[in-house]
Structures are given as C-alpha cells and as structure tokens.
A = this chain, B = another copy of it.
Amino acid sequence: MKILLVGATGTIGTAVAQALEARHEVLRASHSRSPLAVDLADPESIRRLYSQVGRVDAVVSVAGQAAFRPLLALTDADFALSLANKLMGQVNLVRLGADAVADGGSFTLTGGILSRQPMAGAAAISMVNAGLEGFARGAALELPRGIRINAISPGWVRETLVAMKMDPAPGTPAAVVARSYVEAVEGRMTGQVFDALQPAG
C-alpha cells in the first residue's frame, strides 16, 4: 500500500513509520522535518499536501497539538489552537482527503485515552480527543467507496514518560502503540476507537 503518514517525526509517528514501511510505501509528512510539509491548522496546507501525493491507499495521522494547562488558566487561544489543530486538523484530513483515498482505503486518526480517563490540566485535551473519537465513529457511516476510518486512543507512551523524567512504568512502548495503527490500516474494521495499551506479559 501507499500510505500518507502525517506526524511522521513524533515519538509515535517514528514508530508507526518503522512498523508500516516493512510492508508498505510510506510518504512522510510533518510540520517541518519531513519530506512533505503540512500545517494541520491550515486547510490550504492540507489541500497542497494531497495535491502533492496524489492517490493513496491509506492516510495515517499521528499529529495534532492541544493545550495542557489548568482549567481556569486555559485561554481562548489555547482552546482555539486545540480545536484547530488536533481536532479540526485531523477532521480536515478526512474531509479534504476523501477523494485522494483509493476505494477500500482508510483513515487512521489519533485521539487519546484522556478522552475517557481525565487528569488535571487536560480538560482541553480530553475535549479534543473525545471529539475526534466521536467524529471517527460518525464519519465511518458515511465515507464513500468502502473507505474505512478508525481512531487510535493511545495512553501514556513509555518514551514520552522517560523524556519527561517521569516513571516510565505505566507507559506503553511506542513500538507497541504502533501495532494498533498497523492493525487499523491492514484490518477491515471501521468506526472503531482502539485503545493502544500494553499487551500482557
């Protein structure tokens, strides 16, 4: 398959690229450090990206910023960034990319476990993750030509916890999280929200 990967340079994105390129052609895009550049918050930038890549079999997004800040310190700009970037950026990848995806292809987007397991400082992230996951469930009923859509809902990633000098024990290695993306791309499911959790053992 020819797969457009948006957010290819992040912790999860790097692992997803490695996992997918064993069997597929991966077109790497990100904000600034990939062969293809895209600003998720800018629909024109997304349109340019699709015009560059032509027809693809799958679009995988592991991208999108959202603001982490105490509830009553979140600014209008924090909410606007979170909505425009992680939520509408990924929604627009679907809206503007539906024609670019081959019959029976797929979109795989990224939410996150904060959608259902909240923590202090993450109200805006919980909002956009939950919204993204709700959108994926709804859009699955309407995408044309057998195109599938799923959302991966990662928990804490081990490498991220290490980088933040936090206890890595509750984290799932990025390579394990990446398997959920591969499963979503290569499988037949649609409208699903996958918890990308550490397997037993």
Contact of A118 with B71 in the complex, beta carbons under 8 Å: no
A119-B141, A141-B120, A191-B118 known; A88 and B79 CB under 8 Å?
Answer: yes
List chain B residues, Cβ under 8 A from A126: 134-135, 137-138
Q: Is the interface of A mostly helix, strand, loop or mixed?
A: helix
Q: A91: which B residues are within 8 A, CB to CB?
A: 79, 127
Q: Contacts of A56 on B, CB cut-off 8 Å?
A: none
Q: Which residues of chain B come closer than 8 Å to A71, judged between CB atoms? A: 95, 138-139, 142-143
Nearest-neighbor residue (CB-CB) of A79 within chain B: B88
A129 touches B134 (CB 8 A): yes
Docked CA distance A118–B121 (Å): 29
Query: Could you list some 20 contacts between A and B, CB below 8 A?
Result: A71-B138, A71-B142, A74-B95, A79-B91, A91-B127, A114-B134, A114-B138, A118-B137, A118-B138, A118-B141, A119-B141, A123-B135, A124-B138, A125-B138, A126-B135, A127-B131, A127-B134, A127-B138, A129-B134, A130-B137
